[in-house]
Amino acid sequence: MRLIGLALLAILMMSAPALAMQSCVVGQDVLTPGGKRLTVTEVNGSACRTQGKIDGITHDDWWSAFMLEAASEGAIVTSDDRRLFVGKYECWANGNYLFIDLVINNDGSYQDGTGARGEMDYFLDGRIDFGSGPFAGYRGEALDGAVYLTQPGTQSAVQCGYKG
């Protein structure tokens, strides 16, 4: 009987929503009730100031800590099919590995396989703008766990699969 009770408790815990936060820490990434991933920049008791830029729009809001959720370290974004993961992506075209890697960092930057860095903006619709660095000018799109890169002036995309 005790085993059945533990199994039921485990099932209930798996389906329970994430627990609300009790307090915030400056520098912590959080998800707001609208699903925006922002950074805590100031704390006043249980009030947390969050700031960040999403889709070119600056967000600056105050929230009670219990309204926020701690953001996952692994994903940058919200929508399941447009999720962009922090880590390494290997790039392929026509079934051939191109020896080009894309590494997404959790600070809004990226790098290629040689370590050359650049800045990027990620949009909630999956679009990625590479503002500087080795992929500057490329169009990027996150879709179904991969990143698709399109070189300037072409229509063919390179698929970069997530490797962790």
14 and 64 assigned to the same domain:
yes
40 and 107 assigned to the same domain:
no
**Domain stops at, among 42, 70, 98:** 70
pLDDT digits (tens, 9 = 90+) for 36-62: 778 888 888 888 999 888 767 788 888
* Cα 133 to Cα 117: distance, rounded to the nearest angstrom: 6
Contact 50, 59 (CB under 8 A): yes
What CATH number does the domain containing 155 carry? Answer: 2.40.128
Instruction: Give the confidence band of 11 by pLDDT, cuts at 50, 70, 90.
Output: very low
Q: Is the pTM of this model over 0.95?
A: no
62 and 114 assigned to the same domain:
no
109 and 41 assigned to the same domain:
no
Helix, strand, coil in percent for the chain, rounding step 5: 10, 45, 40
66 and 106 assigned to the same domain:
no
C-beta atoms surrounding 139 within 10 Å: 16
57 and 95 assigned to the same domain:
no
Q: What are the C-alpha distances in Å from 141 to residues 44, 83, 119, 120, 159?
A: 38, 10, 15, 12, 10
The number of distinct structural domains making up the chain is 2
**Which of the two residues, 56 and 97, has the higher pLDDT score?**
97
Q: Give a yes or no: residue 75 inside a domain.
A: no
pLDDT value, residue 89: 93
Q: Which domain holds residue 154?
A: 80-162
**Which of the two residues, 34 and 65, has the higher pLDDT score?**
65
Instruction: Give the confidence band of 103 by pLDDT, cuts at 50, 70, 90.
Output: very high
**Domain stops at, among 41, 70, 99:** 70
pLDDT digits (tens, 9 = 90+) for 146-163: 899 998 888 778 999 988
